[in-house]
């Protein structure tokens, strides 16, 4: 049975027409779900009993099941959620100064194989539907009884390897008659799938783009991120440049600092040289260690020196505040432990 959450407002209008219903009912249904937080068709009281039954017979309205929840001292909350087919995914809520930011997952497992990342501990089984991504937001909001203000598609999986479903999700949560999360409060993070970046540059919506770079040169990036052997850093830079020219949008570059791997000050200089002339900023990220990988977090003075050198070389950069260090903070850790029976 199709999930009601798989449908954008326009798609729902078409589905209702096909069922012999008035298309304007779609706005009413959207308001119940996304504004009034009512997820049961039978509680949508301005719909006729007949329409309630029709919806129940044709669409699923179930949210996801919360299997486990970890709450850190800083308020970061990691959810282990169960899909209808029994698959387990993670969603992470971070309390920021600007609001409540939710990091959602786009695939069940991941095939990108980044050597430092917990998400790839379990290989991709399938793509998530747009509705399964939407339901991560709604399930957390239903648990919190509060609104999520920002969403990043940065959890397990590569969003541009599931492009159509991720974009359907984006248009659903951005819908003014629904959750109405502003485009500039939405971010998609890719490890560097150039065809996806190219396609995304033509989307008529001002969603933020983040790219996981994590290295200053091809040698190190090849070691950390197998995708670099397919789309190297020169090609990636060209894609970023084209994206910026086409959209007039600044791009965020994510850079996880790994002790004695990519955190030497000479690599800050290489990175600055690589980024010269691009409208980007670098988000430096302290590493959340993953037992299976053996990488360690850079020392505090090394992180500070790396950041200061980038700033000296006129590269905009920020240091991400650590979230959830006292729980299974890295994407995929909680799910991997549950799947392995730890």
What is the reported pLDDT for 120? 67
Q: How confident is the model at residue 321 (pLDDT cuts 50, 70, 90)?
A: confident
Res 250 pLDDT > 80: yes
Question: Distance between CA atoms of 26 and 4, rounded to whole angstroms?
Answer: 11
In the annotated binding site, the residues are: 110, 114, 117, 157-158, 189, 212-214, 288
What is the reported pLDDT for 342? 45
Pairing state of beta strands 126-127 and 88-96? unpaired
What is the reported pLDDT for 222? 97
Q: Of 114-123, 205-214, 224-233, give the lowest mean pLDDT range.
A: 114-123
Mean pLDDT, rounded, for 109-116 = 92
Q: What is the pLDDT of residues 270-302, one digit of tens each?
A: 999 999 999 999 999 999 887 666 899 999 999
What is the reported pLDDT for 336? 61
What is the reported pLDDT for 28? 97
**Contact by Cβ (8 Å): 156, 330:** no
Q: Of 124-133, 287-296, 331-340, give the lowest mean pLDDT range.
A: 331-340
Mean pLDDT, rounded, for 132-142 = 98
Mean pLDDT, rounded, for 213-234 = 97
For the chain, the structural domain boundaries read 2-60, 65-339
Q: How confident is the model at residue 329 (pLDDT cuts 50, 70, 90)?
A: low
Res 157 pLDDT > 80: yes
Q: Is the pTM of this model over 0.95?
A: no
Q: 76 to each of 49, 63, 82, 106, 305, how far by Cα in Å? A: 41, 21, 20, 20, 28
The arrangement of secondary structure in 2-60, i.e. its CATH architecture, is Orthogonal Bundle (1.10)
Q: Of 185-189, 246-250, 336-340, give the lowest mean pLDDT range.
A: 336-340
Residue 271 phi, psi (nearest 5): -65, -45
Res 333 pLDDT > 60: no
Res 8 pLDDT > 50: yes
- Which one is predicted more confidently, 34 or 320? 34
What is the reported pLDDT for 281? 95
Residue matched to tokens 């509705």: 131
Provide the 3-class DSSP secondary structure of residue 254: strand
Res 328 pLDDT > 90: no
Q: How confident is the model at residue 340 (pLDDT cuts 50, 70, 90)?
A: low
CATH no. of 65-339: 3.20.20.70
CA-based nearest residue to 213, from 254, 165, 274: 254
Q: What is the pLDDT of residues 43-81, one digit of tens each?
A: 999 999 999 999 999 999 999 999 999 999 889 999 999
Residue matched to tokens 């397919």: 230
Question: Which positions are annotated as active-site residues?
Answer: 90, 331
CA-based nearest residue to 162, from 133, 184, 122, 121: 133
- Tokens coding 286: 């302290």
Q: How confident is the model at residue 338 (pLDDT cuts 50, 70, 90)?
A: low
Q: What is the CA radius of gyration of the chain?
A: 21
Residue matched to tokens 């068709």: 41
What is the reported pLDDT for 180? 97
In the annotated binding site for [4Fe-4S] cluster, the residues are: 110, 114, 117
Q: How confident is the model at residue 145 (pLDDT cuts 50, 70, 90)?
A: very high
**Contact by Cβ (8 Å): 104, 166:** no
């Amino acid at each position: 049975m199709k999930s009601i959450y798989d449908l954008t407002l326009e798609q729902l209008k078409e589905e209702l027409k096909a069922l012999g219903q008035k298309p304007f009912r779609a706005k009413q249904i959207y308001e119940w779900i996304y504004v009034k937080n009512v997820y049961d068709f039978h509680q949508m009281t301005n719909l006729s009993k007949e329409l309630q039954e029709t919806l129940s017979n044709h669409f699923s309205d179930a949210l996801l099941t919360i299997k486990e929840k970890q709450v850190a001292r800083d308020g970061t909350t990691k959810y282990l959620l169960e899909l209808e087919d029994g698959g387990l995914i993670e969603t992470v809520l971070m309390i920021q100064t600007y609001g409540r930011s939710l990091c959602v997952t786009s695939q069940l497992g991941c095939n990108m194989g980044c050597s430092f990342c917990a998400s790839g501990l379990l290989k991709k089984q399938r793509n998530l539907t747009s509705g399964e991504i939407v339901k991560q937001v709604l399930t957390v909001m239903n648990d919190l009884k509060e609104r999520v203000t920002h969403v990043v598609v940065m959890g397990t999986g590569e969003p541009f390897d599931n492009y159509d479903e991720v974009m359907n999700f984006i248009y659903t949560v951005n819908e003014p008659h629904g959750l109405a999360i502003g485009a500039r409060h939405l971010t998609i993070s890719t490890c560097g799938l150039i065809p996806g970046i190219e396609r995304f540059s033509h989307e008529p919506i001002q969603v933020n783009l983040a790219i996981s770079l994590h290295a200053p040169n091809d040698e190190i990036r090849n070691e950390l991120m197998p995708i670099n052997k397919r789309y190297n850093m020169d090609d990636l830079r060209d894609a970023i440049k084209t994206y910026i020219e086409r959209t007039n949008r600044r791009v965020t570059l994510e850079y996880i600092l790994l002790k004695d791997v990519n955190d030497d000050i000479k690599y800050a200089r290489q990175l600055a040289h690589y980024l010269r002339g691009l409208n980007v900023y670098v988000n430096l990220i302290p590493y959340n260690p993953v037992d299976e990988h053996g990488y360690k977090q850079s020392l505090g003075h090394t992180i500070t020196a790396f950041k200061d050198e980038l700033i000296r070389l006129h590269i905009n950069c920020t240091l991400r505040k650590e979230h959830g260090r006292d729980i299974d903070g890295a994407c995929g850790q909680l799910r991997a432990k549950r799947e392995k029976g730890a």
